Amino acid sequence: MSAVLEVRGVVKAFGENVVLRGVDLAVDEHRVVALIGGSGSGKSTLLRCASLLEVVDDGQVLLDGEDITDPRVDADAVRRRLGVVFQAYNLFPHLTVLDNVTLAPVRVHGRSRSEAREEALALLERIGLADKSGEYPDRLSGGQQQRVAIVRALAVRPRVLLLDEITSALDPELVGEVLRLVREVAEQGMTIVMATHEMGFAKQVADTVCFLDQGVVLESGPPAQVLGDPVEPRTRQFLSRIIDAGRL
């Protein structure tokens, strides 16, 4: 089975600060990969490189076997095949919930307005927010906004869904509803890469957990192994701090 998304030796620096020092990662179809690691370990940067929001300094990112970091590739066409959800939701505040969801299907994928609308309403119905479709994002709770953002990303039928610490900005009582949706999406077979601090969730939903440390994947494997019985001392150290904080 070939990987949907493959990262090969990716290096990324911001000025003097080298964030990624040669990251390798392969994500097979219908799999969920969780990226864990301390802040500054490069999780978000890796996702931004994979979604072409940052240009890599070295290495390659392959989507369905195609090198998307090649400068000759049409980056807009590549981004169309990806879904990204951000920590701070990033819904468009001047558009209604429905317009947020239908924007890309209509403008980027050329679907008809009525078809996009129908599909968007069906997706919103599924997450119980169909009645909010005419509202502007600032009338919604953080959890509702983030679920709309997930639906917006799904509306383009992406090959991979990239989730960048999507629960980190949420009040604790709203985390559950967002994770429930992610689990549902994963169960339906979506390929997902998620940077997360929710170790319990990673343990239950992820097929693979990757521990990033100082810009490299230090350890990766099934969640039970990486989170339960890590090999690397730095992984142990990181996890013990998480356990101390009561997050696992």
Assess 96 for contact with other proteins (CB under 8 A): no
Residue 50 binds other proteins (CB under 8 A): no
Strand partners, 8: 60
Which range in 31-39, 76-84, 117-125, 173-181 contacts other proteins by CB under 8 A? 76-84
Verify binding: residue 18, other proteins, rule CB under 8 A: no
Q: In this structure, are residues 180 and 191 in contact, taking their beta carbons and an 8 Å threshold?
A: no
Print the binding letters for residues 150-189 with other proteins: x by CB under 8 A, - otherwise: --xx--x---------------------------------
Rounded distance between C-alpha atoms, residue 35 and residue 32, angstroms: 10
Site for other proteins in 29-48 (CB under 8 A): 48
Q: What is the closest distance, in whole angstroms, from the C-beta atom of residue 100 to other proteins in the complex?
A: 9
**120 and 97 Cβ atoms separated by less than 8 Å:** no
Go through 110-130 and write b for each residue having 16 or more CB atoms within 10 A of its CB, e for each that does not.
ebeeeebbebbbebbeebebb
Residues 129-148, mask of contacts with other proteins (x by CB under 8 A): ---------x----------
Q: Give the nearest distance from C-beta 240 to other proteins in angstroms.
A: 33
Least distance in angstroms from the C-beta of 227 to other proteins = 29
Give the integer Cα–Cα distance in Å for 28 and 26. Answer: 7
Token pair 């494997």: residue? 221
Query: What are 246's two structure tokens?
Result: 């009561």
Residue with tokens 């319990």: 200
- With CB under 8 A as the contact rule, the residue among 2, 39, 67, 92 that binds other proteins is 92
User: Which helix (H) or strand (E) is 43 found in, with range?
Assistant: helix 43-50
Chain positions contacting other proteins, by CB under 8 A: 48, 51, 53, 76-77, 79-84, 86, 88, 90-94, 103-104, 107-109, 138, 152-153, 156
